[in-house]
Structure 1
Amino acid sequence: MDHTEKDVLLEGKVDWRGRIATKNQHGGMKAAVFVLATFAFENMASFALAVNLVTYFNSVMHYDIADSANHLTNYMGTAYILSILMAVFADAYIGRFKTLLIAAFVEFLGIALLTLQAHYPKFKPPVCNIFLPTSNCEKLTGGNAVMLFSAIYLMAVGASGVKAALPSHGADQFEEKDAQEATQMSTFFNWLLLAIVVGGCVSLTFFVWVQVNKGFDYGFGLSMIAMFMGAVILICGLPWYRIYVVQGSSAITEIIQVYVAAIRNCNLKLPEDPSELYEIAMDKEAGIHEEFLPHRDVYRWLDKAAVRCDKTVLTSNSWKLCRVTQVENAKILLAMIPVFLCSIIMTLCLAQLQTFSVQQGVTMDIKLTKSFNIPPASLPIIPVAFLVILVPIYDKVVVPLLRKFTGIPTGITYLQRVGVGLILSSLSMAIAGVMEVKRKDVAKDHNMLDAIPVLQPLPISVFWLTFQYFVFGIADMFTYVGLLEFFYSQAPKPIKSISSCFLWSSMALGYFLSGIMVKIVNHVTKGGTKSGGWLAGNNINRNHLELFYWLLAILSLINFVIYLFVAMRYKYRPQTLDAEHELHHLRKTSITPL
């Protein structure tokens, strides 16, 4: 392949100077390493916050447990849901790399503000012990509350941009049509999880330990430094990046045009021959700039967007007449929505491991040795550390082995991988319920239902909680990486960043649903408990968390059954057609270019 052919291969991607990116000089794993390192440092900064903010809200800012859990899930949900907006800007306006760089700075600014508030007493309520029944602790209010939530939601905005742009920018370093690079792209997504867990290992051990033993201000300060390092590493990779060129139009707008045109043309009759549907003329020059997809006989009602009123006259109104490729892109996104909906319940389960499971750990014996205590917020380090070993084994041993039997480059299909994770998440919640029964039995046997955790922990090791974390960690490896690969591979080229946001959006809805579900459960069950519901109040020993976990296990199992039905009906998108093969393929599929 000569230099000109390489330029054609990477058409649509440029280097940092705006020149056409070449395969031998740009992209590949050497560029992806910088992206992976950036994600590792970003997760190093954010993991400790995600697992320990509940304790910060509860013990320092004096919100009760339920409100603290809801504040955290609202923050996490906002970070994920805003990723949609950030992805639109990345794909249609400013580009993925610029979005990523700006977002990293905003997240750094939010963590810096949080660190400032944690350091100075004048920005916090007076110190008191919330676990003492006689304490009348003052909750954070006024300008200081504004400062806290400004910091939290600046972090959410920044994190949303990183989540929206980083996976797609990393995947942009590979060409899907190149067999070798397509395999490397699958490796990149596996190693993306490895970057998360490596950053998480440092965050959940060292950062959390500093928060607990040296103060939240020092712990948050470490997160601030990690975020700064991530931004610096991102910039260092600039000479090697393949940077996707913004096309100047919103692909989301084109998708909406299909629905509008289909509605406007609802009275038109679909032609029996798909060749009568509208598509632009195809030649090698067009193939460089346009994506072409063959017509599929699914969601036929959307085909009306490509029906011409007059076979000889074409309208220039894109809200009345759309290309076949446009229609097929709309069909692909529509087919992905059921998979997206089935992934929400898993995040609802994850939210409980980041909130209520940490509160379980607060009441338990946290001694690792006679002189060292493990912070409850560091419990997820058990499955995270396991994933550090498991991910390379899965990528380098399991996937090649499965590939020999299935012939699939990724070993098993994306949807099969997601399904394994969903059933494991249900098992994790069932185990969590059993562990909570065991913990409460110890409290009852020792007459410690009203014990103050910081003064009198239960005589049961916190490591009993690692079983639920361990199983859910494996579920993470299968489901979230599988979903990232699935959404990226299936989405049309112009909306690769937005496709990644299907995962983040499902997580956002899961976090928001968690807060809503806690309130609903407390409202429905308030008549059967003295505290006002299964999860109400600050005394977790008097609550019925085990019943809540089992409820989630049942919901997850029902969700898995629905997912099986959805996955079996899903048809993977066809490959984008190469320009030089367009006419031959379209003769076979009965679509004639105009």
Structure 2
Amino acid sequence: MSPEREEYVDWRGKNADPRKHGGVRAASFVCGKIFQLRVVEVLENLVFLSNASNFVAYFLMSMNYKPAEASNMVTNFMGTSFLLTIFGGFISDAFITRFKTFIFFCSIELLGLILLTVQAHEPHLHPAMGRRPSGSQAAILYAGLYAIAIGVGGVKATLPAHGADQLDHSNQRLISAFFNWFFFSLCIGGLISVTLMIWIEENLGWNWSFKISVIVLSVTLFIFTIGFSFYRCKLPGGSPLSRISKVKQKFVIMVSIYNRLHSHGREYFWLNYKIKIWQKCNLYLLTLLKNHFSHLSLKILDKALIDNTVTATEVEETITFLGLLPIFATTILMNCCLAQLMTFTVQQGNIMNRTIHHFKIPTQSLTVFPLIIMLASIPLYEQFVRIFGNQKAKMFQPLRRIGLGLALASGSMAVAAIVEVKRREAAENNVILSVFWLGWQYLLLGVSDMLTLGGMLEFFYSEAPDSMRSMSTALSWCSTSMGYFLSSVLVGITNSVSGKYGQPWLGGKNLNQTRLDLFYTLLSILNILNLLAYIYCAKRY
């Protein structure tokens, strides 16, 4: 029996049959391409984004929170949702299959939506006009909100990895195409959420929005579940964190022993160590160490192999996972910029001219422009690869796409600062600027997100050890989480520091009394510095 068949099982735990389980058919059920546009990821992302993108308006108008507080509530919710992908990825890598993990966490998300639906439907669960929510009202709100966050964390960690598991991992082009079409499905869900769903929220109310979300997520769970008979599921391999910890502990012990013996003049120890490494390491591991790490700090992790309690595979897993972390860290600041589209940019749009022929445009619907570009670019890219082949397509390899996305993030914040200056100048002259001025930052950040997130999903899945693919893929979403949390921290620091030298930049109740343009300028400068750090890390990978 081949290793491929031993590694995967069906939903009952029996060995997967390659003629029946996995393949393009199963992957299309998750991603939404190939034979027909399956809707699992489309509908899941539709539910998540339709609520998350307009939560700031719900907190302001229905729950009566202040603008800065509402913005932080949204960024904290988004940050928690994406941060918990690490937890969801850990569960599916270590204990249960990704198929079961998805069903469990999707059910939790559904329960959270039902709780918010009940609150939106019952008037006595809302605060009175102009008053903050009571303790019980806030408890219901936060319980529903963070049940959704927990569910989203598990769903987003497992769905892309489960889809890619259906494919032949020796065919990197097929894996790359899968993640391109997976991102295409994300964009379809996003497009529906910023058009139809936001129109429903603004014209029919949150009561209807939550009800529709409950129905859509229930359909999503049903569609995913009925594919159980032809999915193949990756067997959980135990806790990857325990293996990393074991390598680390053994490494510390062996370095300590070496230092003690070396300090007593036992020079032969180093020679003995090198011999044992050659005996216990295969050539692939040594090549991996040489190619990926030129600095000594990670390279000497192979000292852990002196003892038989740590295997070469465990050291390889540790080295590979640690090697992904610098790339992960340098993408966080870009997502801090992305957080502004759901907070301050929404507040900007709400006080700008949004009317065209008696129709009021929701600010969030400006996301339509970058989404349309993304949806068009993915089929064009796939056609380009089909015509010119993989060699020409190497210019779009994941690390290069991520770098271009980070550069666009810095440019988007510079443009956002200029637009905010024009908006404030117009407001001082009693002129209301058109909301379409915000289209530039939506466009630049939307394309930046497509390049960065799409590149990270493919890069982290392809580079990850087999037993850590869910956790490694979750790093893409965790970067988004850290960006949202960093946004909240930067807002607090900016207000604290600027308040010592006058009025806080972001402290006013009205945006016309704030200096949002200076905050955007600060983000642009920080992103330029971050881009330089990314280029350094990417070249050393």
What is the TM-score normalised by the length of structure 2?
0.91
1:22 CA displacement: 2.9
Q: Does 2:6 align with 1:11?
A: yes
2:505 match: 534
Residue number among 19, 25, 39 corresponding to 1:24 in the alignment: 19
Residue number among 418, 422, 431 corresponding to 2:415 in the alignment: 431
Q: 1:187 to 1:513 in 2, by over 3 A?
A: same
2:451 match: 478
What's the CA shift string for 1:399-458, capped at 9, x where partnerless? 86473336x4xx533211110110011111111111111211211122xxxxxxxxxxx5
2:141 match: 148
2:303 match: 304
Q: Does 2:528 align with 1:560?
A: no
* Matching of residues 118-137 of structure 1 within 5 Å: 118-127=120-129, 137=130
Residue number among 59, 70, 73 corresponding to 1:71 in the alignment: 73
What's the CA shift string for 1:291-349, capped at 9, x where partnerless? x84553442321111124xxxxx5xxx3xxx1222212211122211111101101100
Residue number among 334, 345, 349 corresponding to 1:357 in the alignment: 345
What CA distance in whole angstroms lies between the structure 1 residues aligned with 2:15 and 2:285?
25
Matching residue's letter, 1:384: L
Residue number among 70, 85, 88 corresponding to 1:86 in the alignment: 88
Q: 1:536 to 1:521 in 2, by over 3 A?
A: same
Residue number among 362, 371, 374 corresponding to 1:384 in the alignment: 371
What CA distance in whole angstroms lies between the structure 2 residues aligned with 1:488 and 1:173?
13
1:573 match: none
Q: 1:437 to 1:400 in 2, by over 3 A?
A: farther
- Check whether the contact 2:398–2:459 (CA below 8 A) recurs between aligned residues: yes
Residue number among 381, 384, 388 corresponding to 1:397 in the alignment: 384
- Check whether the contact 1:270–1:307 (CA below 8 A) recurs between aligned residues: no
2:64 match: 62
1:171 match: 164
Q: Does 2:537 align with 1:569?
A: no
Comparing 165-174 with 411-420, greater Cα deviation is found at 411-420
- Check whether the contact 1:278–1:323 (CA below 8 A) recurs between aligned residues: no
- Check whether the contact 2:96–2:235 (CA below 8 A) recurs between aligned residues: no
What's the CA shift string for 1:57-108, capped at 9, x where partnerless? 1111111111001011111111111221221111111121111011111111
1:264 match: 253
Q: Which blocks of at least 5 consecutive residues in structure 2 are unaligned? A: 32-38, 259-268
1:224 CA displacement: 1.6
**Counterpart of 1:379 in 2: which secondary structure?**
helix
**Counterpart of 1:494 in 2: which secondary structure?**
helix
What CA distance in whole angstroms lies between the structure 1 residues aligned with 2:351 and 2:136?
33
1:279 CA displacement: 7.3
What CA distance in whole angstroms lies between the structure 2 residues aligned with 1:223 and 1:279?
58
What CA distance in whole angstroms lies between the structure 2 residues aligned with 1:344 and 1:431?
20
1:256 CA displacement: 1.0
2:463 match: 490
**Counterpart of 1:94 in 2: which secondary structure?**
coil
What CA distance in whole angstroms lies between the structure 2 residues aligned with 1:400 and 1:523?
55
* Matching of residues 182-193 of structure 1 within 5 Å: 182-193=172-183
Comparing 149-158 with 478-487, greater Cα deviation is found at 478-487
Comparing 532-541 with 479-488, greater Cα deviation is found at 532-541
**Counterpart of 1:219 in 2: which secondary structure?**
helix
Matching residue's letter, 1:72: V
What CA distance in whole angstroms lies between the structure 1 residues aligned with 2:271 and 2:160?
40
- Check whether the contact 1:65–1:537 (CA below 8 A) recurs between aligned residues: no
What's the CA shift string for 1:481-509, capped at 9, x where partnerless? 11111111111111110101211222211
Q: 1:390 to 1:141 in 2, by over 3 A?
A: same
* Matching of residues 281-360 of structure 1 within 5 Å: 293-294=285-286, 296-297=289-290, 298=293, 299-308=298-307, 314=308, 318=309, 322-360=310-348
Structure holding more helix per residue: 2
Q: Does 2:94 align with 1:95?
A: no
1:141 CA displacement: 2.5
1:199 match: 189
- Check whether the contact 2:418–2:517 (CA below 8 A) recurs between aligned residues: yes
What CA distance in whole angstroms lies between the structure 1 residues aligned with 2:370 and 2:208?
26
What CA distance in whole angstroms lies between the structure 1 residues aligned with 2:190 and 2:362?
15
1:272 CA displacement: 7.2
1:542 CA displacement: 1.4
- Check whether the contact 1:432–1:465 (CA below 8 A) recurs between aligned residues: yes
2:34 match: none
What CA distance in whole angstroms lies between the structure 2 residues aligned with 1:464 and 1:29?
42
What CA distance in whole angstroms lies between the structure 2 residues aligned with 1:165 and 1:432?
35
1:273 CA displacement: 7.6
**Counterpart of 2:355 in 1: which secondary structure?**
coil
Q: 1:51 to 1:305 in 2, by over 3 A?
A: same
What CA distance in whole angstroms lies between the structure 2 residues aligned with 1:175 and 1:254?
26
Q: 1:279 to 1:246 in 2, by over 3 A?
A: farther
* Matching of residues 415-426 of structure 1 within 5 Å: 415-426=399-410
Q: 1:527 to 1:260 in 2, by over 3 A?
A: closer
Matching residue's letter, 2:245: I
1:11 CA displacement: 2.4
Residue number among 514, 521, 532 corresponding to 1:550 in the alignment: 521
2:211 match: 221
1:373 match: 360
2:46 match: 44
Aligned residues: 516
Matching residue's letter, 1:144: Q
Matching residue's letter, 2:401: R
Matching residue's letter, 1:236: I
What CA distance in whole angstroms lies between the structure 2 residues aligned with 1:78 and 1:507?
10
Matching residue's letter, 1:442: A
2:36 match: none
2:262 match: none
Matching residue's letter, 2:86: I
- Check whether the contact 2:280–2:305 (CA below 8 A) recurs between aligned residues: no
Comparing 437-446 with 422-431, greater Cα deviation is found at 437-446
Q: 1:8 to 1:378 in 2, by over 3 A?
A: same
Residue number among 483, 486, 495 corresponding to 1:510 in the alignment: 483
Identity %: 37
1:134 match: none
Matching residue's letter, 2:403: G
- Check whether the contact 1:484–1:503 (CA below 8 A) recurs between aligned residues: yes
- Check whether the contact 2:461–2:469 (CA below 8 A) recurs between aligned residues: yes
- Check whether the contact 1:433–1:545 (CA below 8 A) recurs between aligned residues: yes
**Counterpart of 1:526 in 2: which secondary structure?**
helix
Residue number among 243, 247, 254 corresponding to 1:254 in the alignment: 243
What is the TM-score normalised by the length of structure 1?
0.83
1:26 CA displacement: 2.1
RMSD between superposed Cα atoms in Å: 2.1
**Counterpart of 1:22 in 2: which secondary structure?**
coil
Q: 1:439 to 1:183 in 2, by over 3 A?
A: same
